[in-house]
């Protein structure tokens, strides 16, 4: 089984519990704030075509959709289970007109060049099996005047945070096939101009804004 199949299977298995974990107050409160900041950083006017990579249960699709007047938001994922619950959420919230959830692999996306005004990825780049291919695809999909917002986890800044970081990183690898020790910023800088919008949780959660070079 390839690493990608393992990631998809892991998230398929998590489908039933994902929203439960997401709504657990200790996790959901700070996460919600960080994700809201990521959506705010998209600076939407209303007409944009937005791509949410690795949408999971589609939570932020339902926050982006009300910001759009004649635009559209598409959430993609390689987990069929996640796509299914994202679709159910869209249906439940009555947002079908401007919101879609589809199966698509960001390492080999089926969307055409320069298709999106905005791209967003929240806690996705650390789970994508080949993030270098994904960054290349994002550069292809984003319009030259577009922007991409990345919210993700990384190594802490100060040495005192490492005793907290190491067990979190190991359990994320074991249970979520997530690589918190990946340097996402470095690989994005090969394709984009990257600016840091925010650093939270001792530098372990960061928000990046990427524009074309």
**128 is a site residue for ligand SAM (CB under 6 A):** yes
* Least CB distance to ligand SAM at residue 83 (A): 9
**149 is a site residue for ligand SAM (CB under 6 A):** no
**124 is a site residue for ligand SAM (CB under 6 A):** yes
Q: Which is nearer to ligand SAM, 62 or 122 (CB)?
A: 122
Residue with tokens 């919230």: 93
**99 is a site residue for ligand SAM (CB under 6 A):** no
**123 is a site residue for ligand SAM (CB under 6 A):** yes
**Could you tell me how many residues of this chain bind ligand SAM (CB under 6 A)?**
21
**76 is a site residue for ligand SAM (CB under 6 A):** yes
62, 99, 127, 153: residue in contact with ligand SAM (rule CB under 6 A): 127
* Least CB distance to ligand SAM at residue 160 (A): 26
Which whole-number Å values give the CA distances from 207 to 91, 114, 123, in the listed order?
29, 23, 10
| Dist CA 124 CA 210 (whole Å) | 15
**146 is a site residue for ligand SAM (CB under 6 A):** no
* Least CB distance to ligand SAM at residue 140 (A): 14
Sheet holding 192-200, edge to edge: 99-103, 72-77, 49-53, 116-122, 142-153, 205-212, 192-200
Task: Report, in angstroms and rounded to the nearest whole number, the Rg of the chain calculated over CA atoms.
Answer: 16
Window 46-65: contact mask with ligand SAM (x via CB under 6 A): -------xxxx--x------
Q: Which is nearer to ligand SAM, 28 or 160 (CB)?
A: 28
Which residues lie near ligand SAM (CB under 6 A)? Answer: 7-8, 11, 53-56, 59, 76-79, 82, 105-107, 122-124, 127-128
């Amino acid at each position: 089984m390839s690493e990608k199949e393992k990631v998809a299977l892991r998230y398929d298995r998590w489908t039933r519990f994902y929203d439960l974990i997401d709504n657990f107050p200790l996790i959901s409160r700070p996460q919600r704030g960080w994700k809201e900041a990521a959506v705010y950083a998209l600076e939407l006017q209303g007409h944009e075509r937005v791509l949410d990579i690795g949408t999971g249960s589609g939570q932020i699709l339902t926050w982006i959709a009300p910001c759009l007047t004649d635009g559209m938001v598409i959430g993609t994922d390689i987990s069929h289970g996640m796509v299914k619950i994202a679709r159910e959420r869209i249906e439940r919230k009555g947002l079908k007109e401007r919101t879609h959830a589809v199966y698509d692999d960001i390492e080999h996306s089926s969307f055409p060049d320069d298709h999106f005004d905005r791209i967003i990825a929240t806690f996705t780049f650390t789970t994508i099996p080949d993030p270098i291919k994904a960054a290349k695809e994002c550069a292809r999909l984003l319009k030259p005047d577009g922007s991409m917002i990345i919210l993700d986890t990384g190594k802490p800044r100060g040495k005192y945070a490492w005793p907290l970081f190491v067990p979190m990183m190991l359990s994320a690898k074991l249970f979520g096939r997530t690589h918190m020790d990946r340097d996402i910023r470095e690989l994005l800088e090969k394709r984009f101009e990257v600016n840091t919008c925010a650093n939270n949780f001792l530098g372990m959660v960061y928000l990046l804004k990427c524009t074309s070079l």
